[in-house]
Amino acid sequence: MVILWLVIIELLAVAAYPLVRKIFSGLPDKGWGLSKIIGVLTLAFGAWAIAFTHIFSFSKPLITSLFLIFLGVSAYVIYKRRKEIFAEIKEKWVNYLVSEIIFLVVFGFFLLIRVFSADIFGAEKFMDFAFLNSLARFDAFPPADPWLSSGTINYYYFGYFTWASLAKLTSIAPSIVYNLAAVTIPALVAQGIFSLGFALTKKYFWAIAGVVMALFLGNLAGSMQIFGRGLAIFPYNYWEPTRVISGTINEFPFFTSIWADLHPHFMAMPNFVLFLGFLWVLAHNRTKLVILLAGISVGIAYATSGWDAPTMLFLAFVILAAFSGKEKWTQKISSAILPLLAIIGIGIATALPLISSYTFPKMNMGLASVRSDLWQFVLVFGLFLFMIVGAFLLKPFRVLENIKKHKIDLIAIGAGVIIFAGLITQNLVVPLLLLLLALGIMSYFSLETKEQKFAFLLAICGLIVALSVELFFVDDTYGPANQRLNTVFKFHLHSWYLFALAGTVLIPLVWSTLKEKRILRYGFAGALGILVILSAIYPIGATVERAGKFAGSPKLDGTEYLKNSAPDDAEAIKWLQDNVDDRSTVIVEATGNPYGSLSRVSAYTGIKTILGWGNHERLWRRDEKSGQEITKRSADVKTIYEETDAEKTKSLLAQYNVKYVYVSNQEKTEYPNGDFEKFATIGKAVFDKGTVKIYKISL
């Protein structure tokens, strides 16, 4: 199955290559490192757009037909241009080979961790698997919400749709596709970062270093736990370093990849990297095709993880303005507006299948009343901050030389703003970021090459993103102390990728600049080396602990653990998977608090239930009417299990068009006053094994 999966991914890359080499003709690898991302997204987006029209359903025949058409068109174009394509491959074969090795090595690394931690259980995995399963097994469009039987998914679901498309194409079980997707995502990111890093530096070492910084380093907080115990790494708590800044979540790509919640922010990572590639092209040539594809990428971002879209649009505006070719900043800004509006319009059109069935939840937005502690902020971004400070202060970015070009009153005003910001926010992170931005912007004007300017802008934008979440919060319902929980979580990931890619240029630039100042040069290298070592402690400790010290039997099926922990449930779920293929089917199971084993049947089968994790449904549907409906459904499920009057129970089951009732120890624990025998009078036990019975209801 792994080989089949990799073959399909490679074929999608080949299918995308004729388009990719046209778009990224200026990249050393002609964009090959981004071709897998484009191939996977093109297949899924094509199916999504067609399913939206209801001309064809989201089914295996549709996906297979699109795949074959995609391959066929590509084969024709490659044949017609075989001489130039083969000449490119002959000339660039080393680059292509290294790129493929990186993809396979990263895929293999995370696969090794995953086969020893394959269980689809804990955190958000039930929710993620429920959506993936429902999309992979059924063809409803808009996609049915498996946790709210009469509703459609009111959440960013294109990521699940993407991997469900590959599940349909390959006929690999969703319980395996879940884990294959979780190891493919970082591999796609790695190959994309390598491609862009090499385009910026023309050096394999620094391109690979970019991959390491983006994906294989932790934050400095990951090293803190070894001090005080003789520098011993094990036992290692790999969760703690993701909760550094008070009241927030501080995930970084390595943790996200090994934790493997197939959640929107994780699935959106490849598209974010792809968009950076489009920006690099726009910095050179503002073509209509790239504007179109950048807009599609923004639309896919919104449909996959809406948090990505604002950052992507901000980046697009900055790059379009900075590389407009205009002299005055007013002209630069005005020249960026029209293409930015085009990207926004195309993005909205791209996301229309989601928007058309999406009820926008009420969102809280405002000025943040809590901010990051400076030490905590440094523990999260310390390595990157050191790199940025070095680049912003050293030749050829000598700030002192640039200051001479500006009026002293402007410098005084800037200093006053920074001091005032610190006083009014009663915080040191805000003035630190403002100071770095001031230094960076002044330094930017002394840059010579497009690669340096692009990398600098990535770093500056990363700082602005980090600053924005110190001042504002969006969409949190966890109380004042945790108001920035998701805002910091999502936007800090963007800053991490921007800093990592910028680092491929900034670090060697500082090193080369200091070639005549050996003390500073080796001091910088030594300090950087120490920070890298400290950041590398996390992946070492987390890899071993997350993989359970590589003990036990490796497996790829995320539901296989049930055979040991709950064998009767495992057989019952298998029976449902084999015998229920009607997308309208509704099953009743226990509902309640999230993150435990409740709602496992709907999650593991994709079959709709009356109510899954109620608190998640409330987050997705924040209006009062939906809240009342969720409360009612929770009470109705309780009544279904506890009501002693069979006719009243039957009437309630009919209200939700229930076809099956699931009874196991879980339901008996959740509803201790339940009358479970009555189901035999209103239905028939179609599965009866040990602690589990499944009743088919006669309505």
Q: What is the pLDDT of residues 350-407, one digit of tens each?
A: 999 999 988 887 777 888 889 999 999 999 999 999 999 999 887 444 555 555 554 4
Closest CA to 368 of 245, 521, 232: 245
Share the mean pLDDT of the chain.
92
Per-residue pLDDT at 261 exceeds 90:
yes
Residue with tokens 């319980």: 175
Q: Are 504 and 207 in contact (CB under 8 A)?
A: yes
Q: What is the pLDDT of residue 583?
A: 83
Residue with tokens 């507006």: 337
Sheet holding 660-663, edge to edge: 608-609, 586-588, 660-663, 692-697, 683-689
* Residue ranges covered by each domain of the chain: 1-216, 268-360, 373-550, 562-697
Where does residue 577 fall: left (phi above 0), alpha (psi -120 to 50 degrees), or beta otherwise?
alpha
Per-residue pLDDT at 166 exceeds 90:
yes
**What are the backbone angles phi and psi of residue 404, rounded to the nearest 5°?**
-60, -25
Per-residue pLDDT at 699 exceeds 80:
no
Q: What is the pLDDT of residue 578?
A: 93
pLDDT-above-70 percentage for the chain: 95
Secondary structure (DSSP) of 420-439: HHHHHHT-SHHHHHHHHHHH
Closest CA to 697 of 643, 632, 631, 651: 651
Which amino acid, residue 379? L
The DSSP H or E segment spanning 688 is strand 683-689
Q: Which CATH number fits domain 562-697: 3.30.530, 3.40.50, 2.160.20, 1.25.10?
A: 3.40.50
Instruction: Say which residues have a Cβ less than 8 Å from residue 55's Cβ, sequence separation at least 6.
Output: none
Instruction: Say which residues have a Cβ less than 8 Å from residue 663's Cβ, sequence separation at least 6.
Output: 676, 679, 692, 693, 694, 695
pLDDT digits (tens, 9 = 90+) for 16-64: 999 999 999 999 999 999 999 999 999 999 999 999 999 999 999 999 9
Instruction: Determine if the peptide bond prior to 567 is cis (ω within 30°).
Output: no
pLDDT digits (tens, 9 = 90+) for 424-452: 667 889 989 988 998 888 888 888 899 99
pLDDT digits (tens, 9 = 90+) for 105-139: 999 999 999 999 999 998 999 999 999 999 998 88
Prediction pTM value: 0.95
Assigned token pair, 262: 């197939």
pLDDT digits (tens, 9 = 90+) for 453-470: 999 999 999 999 999 999
Q: Are 276 and 301 in contact (CB under 8 A)?
A: no
What does the alpha-carbon distance between residue 677 and residue 135 come to, in Å, rounded to a whole number? 34
Q: How far is CA 49 from the centre of its chain?
A: 22
What does the alpha-carbon distance between residue 314 and residue 308 come to, in Å, rounded to a whole number? 10
What does the alpha-carbon distance between residue 191 and residue 106 come to, in Å, rounded to a whole number? 9
